[in-house]
Each structure stands twice: as structure tokens, then as C-alpha cells.
Amino acid sequence: MAQSIPPQSQDHQPGVERLLQPQAEHIRADYRGSGKLKGRRALITGGDSGIGRAVALHFAREGADVAILYLEEKEDAQETVRLVEAEGTKALAIQGDVSSSEVCNTAVARTVEAFGGLDIVVNNAGVQYVSEDLADITDATWQRHMDVNINGYFYIARAALPHLGKGSAIINTSSINAFAGNKALVAYTTTKAAELGFMRALALQLADRGIRVNAVAPGPIWTPLQPASWGPVDPQAVADLGKDTPLGRIGQPSEMGPAYVYLASADASYVTGQTVHVNGGMIVNG
């Protein structure tokens, strides 16, 4: 599982999956599905690469049809569709920016039209810009974090709600940084904490409808966002990611997928308003 990661950088977010050195693992060959999501229909934002692709593949192996909303990396999105369809379920790729409520409305509508309904929503798309000094964060950079990481989660959830029923699930991808903080990621950390507040309040609001709302808080995970965010500042920082965790390494997207399967399935029927931590042993407060 542990792989040596060389210093590297990508010049544009959200980054390109196929440029990662080494390639990430999205699902283990020995992961065996058991039909936990058979007949379910899912929409995953940022599903073309990284954690989003891992969630898509795990959902598909568990029997779900999967739609992904992606920003611009068409080749990555097409590969995710190919991999999902290879699992024997339906796949749909939708291009658009989650910062637009119109895009989110359209993505939900197209998913419902293609699959005949919607049962699982995974808010995962995000941006992360590194800055060691608060004064260096421009208005535009701050607003971009809010538009994607906060507004996008709200827009997708709001559009999906009329189609969700008892037993449905909404899952937000948060971060260890919402709990531990990160001095170089003030804007990102702020949005990740806000996502948790949104999750907890929405879980209370939807409990009597039987719709569960939870979150997953990853630690450092090997995705294109890492070289696309840390790389332009310090390529060596990319190589060092995860070395300060108790497990001493960065995590793979394949190690995230099962947490989303759990929260999406009936296994978590008594779980709402909670956060699952997958972070290599980092201490969490709160």
C-alpha cells in the first residue's frame, strides 16, 4: 500500500488523474461487493478522479447506478464511466461547475431522468489553494473556496431533496482540517468546517423524513488535488504528505470508498449527523 511519491506539481486545479506519479489506487482488486447498494441511484460531485472516482467504483461494485458531475477533465470522467460500466451498472458523466445552482439543478434532473430516481448524494467536489499568509488570500480565492466547497454542497442537496425518500443518504466530504486546522489552508479549512455544520443541521431537519446526512473527513489522500494545490508552492511538500501521520504515509482513494459505502447503505441505518474519520491515525478533537 505504501508507495514512494516523488516531488511533483500540476498547474491547474482540480488536477488530472492520469498525471499522478505513481498512479492512485481507487478500488482494491480484492474488494468484494455484496449488493449493499443494489438498485440504488447515486450522484457524486467531483466523481471523475480521486476520492470521487473511488466512491463511484465502490458504489458500482455494490450494485448502484452512478452519475458523476465533473468540472472539466473529460478524459478522467470518461475513464470513470468506463470503470463503473465494467462493474455492470449504469454510468453517466455530466460536465459543469458546482458553484452554479443552475448546473446543480441540471445535474440532478439528468440523473433522475437517466436512472428513474435518486437515492444517494455525495458532495465531494472541492478546491484547495495554499497560502501561508492571510494577507495573500485574494477576495477571488476566498470566494472561489466558498462558491465550490460550500455553495456547491448546498445547491446539490437542495436540488436533490425533492427526489429523496426514506432510506436515502446525503454524504459530505469534509477534511481532517476541519478538526485540526491547517495554517497554510485557512480558506479551505473554513469551508470544510462549514460543511460539517451544514451536515449536522440538515441531518436534524431531515431525520423525520428518514433521510440520513453524514460526512467523511479524510486525512491526506493521494489525489490530483494534492499536486495541483501544494505542488505549485512546493513540489517537495507533495512528496512529504502523510509522513507525519501515525501510519507514516499518505492514504489511497481505495481506502476511502468503503466508508462511503457504509454511510450510503442500510448498515448505517441508525447513523445520521455523524463524521467518519479516515486519516491514518491523526488525533481528532470535536
**Alpha helices, DSSP H only, in the chain?**
50-61, 74-86, 101-115, 139-145, 152-160, 177-180, 186-206, 225-229, 235-240, 257-264
Residue environment code for 120-150, b if the CB has 16+ CB neighbours within 10 A, otherwise e: bbbbbbbbbbbbeeeeeeeeeebebbbbbbb
- 215 in Cβ contact with 275 (< 8 Å): yes
CA atoms within 13 A on the CB side of 284: 17
Residue type, 140: A
Pairing of strands 120-123, 91-95: unpaired
Residue 118's nearest CA partner among 177, 88, 158 is: 158
- 146 in Cβ contact with 169 (< 8 Å): no
Cα separation, 256 vs 261, in Å, equals 9
Q: Is 270 a catalytic residue?
A: no
- 81 in Cβ contact with 95 (< 8 Å): no
- C-alpha cell at position 262: 457504509
Active-site residue, from 129, 153, 188, 260: 188
Cα separation, 102 vs 108, in Å, equals 10
- 55 in Cβ contact with 124 (< 8 Å): yes
Annotated catalytic sites, by residue?
188
